[in-house]
Amino acid sequence: MGSWKKYLLWLVLALPAAFMLHSLVWQDTLPMDLLHPSGELSVRLMVLAMLPGPLSEFFGENRLLRFWLSMRRYFGVAAFAYALLHLAVYVLDMRSLPAILDEFTLPGIWTGWLALVLLLPAACTSFDAAMRRLKRNWKRVQRIIYLAFLAGLVHWLLLDWEWRPAVIHAAPLVLAWTLRFVARIRTDVGRPLS
């Protein structure tokens, strides 16, 4: 991706955070009001990062998917950044470490911490040097984001007890993974027996 496109994408991805911080500092928004939007955006960015891989395996690499694949890393890093913002507003909302520790064992809370921890390896290895150094293992490390996504959805579900958001966010991925599965079966069937 060209460098101006890269910077434009960073700018677009940073805009929601700017609006959130602006509303927190200059308007009456409470930190607790930003918990939902920051967490939801993190999950959505994870979906955007995870979708193009399986889709390109099914549809083949066209121009759109190539472009999307080239942006995948930025979506992943932004998902981590919004997860950190989510944590920051949570800390602001809770105000004290003892209060945070006191509710750590609640299922709706520890699943959120777990999602954040699971995002860490992918985020820490999201630069070119790590990619070169880890070689084949890089992809394995990046795949941990699937588990982070699952933990994030469970965290959301346990806090809201509302199944629709989880289904809506998981559905495109389940569909894409099904398509990839179909693509792999097609490849296996077409492959001559050795």
Partner 1 sequence: MTAKCRLLAISLSAAALALASAPAHADGNVTCNSGAKENWQPINKLKKKVWLERWSLLKTQIEGDCYEVYARTESGQAIEAFFHPVTLEKLVVFRRGKEIYRAKGFEG
Site residues for partner 1 per CB under 8 A:
30, 32-33, 93-96, 98-99, 102-103, 106-111, 114, 147, 150-151, 154, 157-162
In the complex, the smallest distance separating the C-beta of residue 151 from partner 1, rounded to whole angstroms, is 7
In the complex, the smallest distance separating the C-beta of residue 93 from partner 1, rounded to whole angstroms, is 7
Helix (H) or strand (E) holding 38: helix 31-50
Nearer to partner 1, 16 or 93 (CB): 93
Q: Residues near 163 by Cβ (< 8 Å), separated by ≥ 6? A: 157
Cβ atoms of 155 and 115 within 8 Å: the answer is: yes
* The residue count for the chain: 194
Nearer to partner 1, 12 or 30 (CB): 30
* Residue 147, Cβ density class (10 Å: 0-12 exposed, 13-18 middle, ≥19 buried): middle
Q: 49-60 as b/e, with b when 16 or more CB fall inside 10 Å?
A: bbbbbbbbbbee
Helix (H) or strand (E) holding 194: none
Nearer to partner 1, 98 or 190 (CB): 98
- Strand residues in the chain grouped as ranges (E): none
Nearer to partner 1, 21 or 114 (CB): 114
In the complex, the smallest distance separating the C-beta of residue 169 from partner 1, rounded to whole angstroms, is 15
In the complex, the smallest distance separating the C-beta of residue 107 from partner 1, rounded to whole angstroms, is 4
Nearer to partner 1, 9 or 109 (CB): 109
In the complex, the smallest distance separating the C-beta of residue 33 from partner 1, rounded to whole angstroms, is 8
